[in-house]
Amino acid sequence: SHAEIADAPVLHALSSFTLQTYIWPTTPAKGTQTIMCREDPTTGAGFRLFLDEAGALAFCVSISSEQCYMVSSGLSLLAEKWYLISASYNADSGMLCISQQPIFKYAGVNDQGSMSTAAAPDIGSTSTASIVIAARPAADERMQEHFNGRIEAPRIYSTAISLEEMNSLHSASRP
């Protein structure tokens, strides 16, 4: 199942933004799984927070299906463990940032990390698509890349939160 939030005027003002939620992936390495997106399935414009083929957190902001700016943590998430994940896009600087923080740390497991990369400035509000949680819309109006697991307390902030701020939020709350 998935959730869909219809386009609204308040979403049009999202030039810089941050996405944040808790996730509990059941099968993180079982193909690409979308956590949260606002992406036009015809043009590819918008943003997408997802687990990549290796089960690592990734974030993409795109102008079109051919022009996507992406950052990945490169660190696979553990199955059936809680994580606080965050992603931001700063329209002024063009900076993409992601953070994955396990709620509980395990000895010898490297699944905590943050990453940032430069993208083009001013591309954050190019989509008028709905926000979809736990799936990605396809051009034929079906959903694809379903997230297998739990998603708790998804949030969208109308500002780009820095990596330091993302990491400090980890200690402030738990699912």
As given in the structure block, the two tokens for residue 145 are 């890349």
Q: Which DSSP symbol is given to 94?
A: T
In the structure, what pLDDT confidence band is assigned to residue 33 with cuts at 50, 70 and 90?
very high
pLDDT surpasses 70 at 170: no
Check residue 163 and give its pLDDT.
Answer: 73
In the chain, alpha helices (H): 9-12, 163-172
Q: Report whether 23 contacts 150 (CB < 8 A).
A: yes
pTM of the model: 0.91
Q: Report whether 89 contacts 124 (CB < 8 A).
A: yes
In the structure, what pLDDT confidence band is assigned to residue 143 with cuts at 50, 70 and 90?
very high
Inter-CA distances, 32 with 90, 97, 133, 170, Å: 25, 19, 14, 25
| CA–CA gap between residue 99 and residue 88 (Å, rounded) | 9
Q: Which DSSP symbol is given to 80?
A: T
pLDDT in tens, 157-167: 988 987 777 76
